[in-house]
Amino acid sequence: MPIQIDKFTRSKRKTIALIIEHDGTLTIRAPMRTSRAAIDAFIQQKEDWILRTREKLKMIVPDPIRQYVEGEMFLFLGSSFSLKLVGPQRPALKFDNGFTLSQNVQHKSAQYFLKWYKQQAYEVISKRVMEYAQRHQFSPPNK
């Protein structure tokens, strides 16, 4: 069964490119003067890679659509923790073996979670950078 090409583009490039999008569609980008036979031969040569990559993409589970409701589970450092909605609190999002979120900011939950996760990533990564810096005797540059 021949490989289906979903999008084909010719441009001022020197090589043929095969791009498999997240949804499994195949885009071909080829130089202007490359013959269709040469392109088809290239696709045939890469058929195993195309099929393997499409299979890998099928196995990827999409991120769940977040609702930010009571009991919803969120990952942190490899474990799942539930969300509890509470009355007004400062800060609006807290973590103590589970997440608590102030109900009055529930409409902006995604922003609060994103900010919180970025802060946690910064802290974890900074700590690890310092550990490796000490282990290998170097000083990381300041921000």
Greater confidence (16 vs 63) lies with 16
Q: How far is CA 92 from CA 95, 105, 118, 136, in A?
A: 10, 7, 16, 39
pLDDT at 109 over 80: yes
Q: Which of 14, 41, 20 is nearest to 5 (CA)?
A: 20
Tokens of 32: 């202007």
Kind of pairing between the strands at 99-102 and 79-86: parallel
- Given a contact cutoff of 8 angstroms between Cβ atoms, the answer to whether 4 and 26 are in contact is yes
Segments making up each domain of the chain, as ranges: 7-59, 73-136
pLDDT at 61 over 90: no
CA dist., res. 81 & res. 45, Å (int): 47
* 0.75 surpassed by pTM: no
CA dist., res. 21 & res. 6, Å (int): 10
- Given a contact cutoff of 8 angstroms between Cβ atoms, the answer to whether 82 and 76 are in contact is no
Phi, psi of 34 (to 5 degrees): -75, 130
Of the pLDDT bands very low, low, confident and very high (cuts 50, 70, 90), residue 141 is confident
pLDDT at 143 over 70: no
Q: What is the pLDDT of residues 8-31, one digit of tens each?
A: 999 999 999 999 998 899 999 999
* Model pLDDT, residue 63: 80
- Percent of residues, the chain, with pLDDT higher than 90: 86
